[in-house]
Amino acid sequence: MESSLHLSEIFIYPIKSLGGISLSEAFVEQRGLQFDRRMMLVDEYGIFITQRDFPQMALLKTRITDNRLFVIHSTFNQSIILPTNPDDKTSSEGIKVIIWNDACEAIKVSKEADEFFSDMIGIKCSLVYMPGEEFRLVDPERKYVSENHPVSFADGYPFLIIGQSSLDELNKRLENPLPINRFRPNFVFTGGQAFEEDKWKDFLIGDIRFKAVKPCARCVITTTDQQTAERSDEPLRTLSTFRRNENKVLFGMNLITYDHGKVKVGDKIILL
């Protein structure tokens, strides 16, 4: 039977918790999509910072052109150009960083970047990059993934997928419908029932095989307007009325893959 499920949107977030980039195609690596969350901002103690505590980070938008990463503050109209692969340089300064319960080796991108982001966000911080040889583990306690598997600076898993039908069902219940960027997915798909991704296990996007690991527990970032950085109660208030599981509000599915290769908008999704 012809699959009714199709990949409809692809997003990457080159710097964790800054604005994302919509793509028509992307290269899949085990630790995530190419360029996705390979950079991150840390405070002066090396601890990661996100929109959870600094919603103004949403105002920093990103785009990649000619292998350069452009970051533009949408209000201040200030910008910086960064390399997409800072570890190509041999003189980079190493730093130990903390993300949740993980300690990782990273490299500082540049003093210029540190000054720019400190000015834009309003706290002293540094931009760091995960070098190719660093191996941060998914699920080190082996609750959901039974073997060693790498992940970038994403919160916990390399990929997040959400069905358009799931967003549509949520928006029916909201006074003011929300865009998908509130949920910061890597993949959006059309077709199927609302929340059917909750039950997925193994599936293909095009030729690339993915494994659904666990539903994604949502945080206060979803309540941050990605255009204005303003906060509200939604969508967590409404989601908690019908998507609560124990203490967590669930929306979207975390994924891993064992493959490498390209996915593109329009690819069929085949459940295995």
pLDDT tens per residue across span 127-145: 999 999 999 999 887 888 9
pLDDT tens per residue across span 55-108: 999 999 999 999 999 999 999 989 999 999 887 655 578 999 999 999 999 999
> How many angstroms from the chain centroid is the CA of residue 199?
21
What confidence tier does 169 reach under pLDDT thresholds 50, 70, 90? very high
Q: In the chain, pLDDT over 70 holds for what percent of residues?
A: 97
Residue with tokens 């200030």: 78
- Mean pLDDT along residues 169-187: 98
Average the pLDDT over each of 2-11, 138-147, 175-184 and give the range with the smallest value.
138-147
- What lies within 8 Å, CB to CB, of 77 at 6+ separation is none
pLDDT at 89: 59
- Mean pLDDT along residues 237-261: 96
pLDDT at 1: 47
Q: Inform me whether the pLDDT recorded for 227 exceeds 70.
A: yes
CA dist., res. 162 & res. 41, Å (int):
26
103-107, Cβ contacts within 8 angstroms, sequence gap of 24 or more: 104/130, 104/134, 104/136, 104/153, 105/131, 105/134, 106/40, 106/42, 106/130, 106/131, 106/134, 107/131
Instruction: Count CB-CB contacts under 10 A for residue 266.
Output: 11
pLDDT at 113: 97
Closest CA to 185 of 102, 259, 257, 255: 255
Closest CA to 37 of 24, 48, 45, 46: 48
Residue 116, SS3 per DSSP: helix
Q: Where are the alpha helices (DSSP H) in 122-248?
A: 164-173, 236-242
Q: Per DSSP, which regions of 84-178 are E strands?
A: 94-99, 102-108, 125-129, 159-163
- Mean pLDDT along residues 22-34: 98
pLDDT tens per residue across span 209-226: 999 999 999 999 999 999
pLDDT at 147: 87
Average the pLDDT over each of 91-95, 162-166, 182-186, 268-272 and give the range with the smallest value.
91-95
pLDDT at 2: 56
Q: Mean pLDDT of all residues in the chain?
A: 95
Q: Inform me whether the pLDDT recorded for 3 exceeds 80.
A: no
Q: In the chain, pLDDT over 90 holds for what percent of residues?
A: 91
